[in-house]
């Protein structure tokens, strides 16, 4: 069955078409979300959200872009929404600790091990993911899509609704920021 046929069937509410779509694209969506949120449980929940949104909004997909691009768009925006809400909660927690009894501790993010990273790179990737976590939203999304999903700058520009030159600039700024962050880290921790 072709992609177009699948989408047409999904528009008619066919469950089998939906199942095929989920099975075919679940790893792509999960990997994208996981790279951005850096937590496996949250990534699974968001992946479910993404596919529910696909099911509910398939009628708005006109086929002007590739279906995978549309999926990347939803996955990226859901993952970034989640990060925003996590940041809001953190801020609220901080305010509570100011006005509370001072015992509330700010939750620290655990080290993130991506399951697909080569064994020799595991420790270094933890340091890199920590640095990626500190990047601004768009830089984070562009860098993750490029590094983890192997998307070209052209494809990233379609996902992020921007131009190729804007993506180039996002990527170069991301690399500068990461270098800065890593330099700081290794200056403190290098023996």
Contact footprint for other proteins (CB under 8 A): 15, 18-19, 22-23, 26-31, 34, 44, 47-48, 51-52, 55, 114-118, 121, 124-125, 127-128, 147-149, 175, 178-179, 182-183, 186-187, 190
Shortest Cβ 188–other proteins spacing (Å): 11
Q: Buried (b) or exposed (e) across 90-118, using 16+ Cβ within 10 A? A: eeeeeeeeeeeeeeeeeeeeeebebeebe
Shortest Cβ 173–other proteins spacing (Å): 14
CA distance 140 to 79: 11
**Residue 105 vs 120, nearer CB to other proteins:** 120
Shortest Cβ 95–other proteins spacing (Å): 31
Shortest Cβ 69–other proteins spacing (Å): 17
**Residue 87 vs 124, nearer CB to other proteins:** 124
């Amino acid at each position: 069955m072709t992609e177009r046929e699948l989408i047409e069937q999904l528009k008619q509410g066919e469950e089998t078409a939906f199942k095929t779509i989920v099975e075919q694209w679940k790893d792509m969506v999960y990997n994208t979300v996981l790279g951005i949120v850096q937590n496996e449980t949250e990534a699974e929940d968001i992946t479910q959200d993404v596919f529910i949104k696909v099911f509910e909004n398939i009628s708005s997909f006109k086929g002007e872009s590739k279906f995978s691009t549309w999926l990347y768009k939803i996955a990226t925006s859901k993952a970034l929404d989640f990060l925003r809400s996590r940041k809001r909660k953190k801020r609220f927690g901080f305010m509570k600790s100011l006005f509370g009894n001072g015992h509330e501790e700010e939750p620290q993010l655990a080290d993130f091990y991506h399951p697909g990273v080569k064994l020799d790179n595991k420790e270094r990737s933890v340091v890199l993911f920590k640095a990626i976590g500190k990047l601004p939203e768009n830089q984070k999304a562009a860098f993750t899509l490029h590094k983890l999903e192997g998307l070209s700058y052209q494809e990233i520009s379609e996902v992020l609704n921007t131009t190729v030159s804007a993506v180039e600039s996002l990527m170069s700024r991301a690399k500068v920021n990461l270098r800065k962050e890593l330099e700081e880290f290794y200056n403190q921790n290098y023996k």
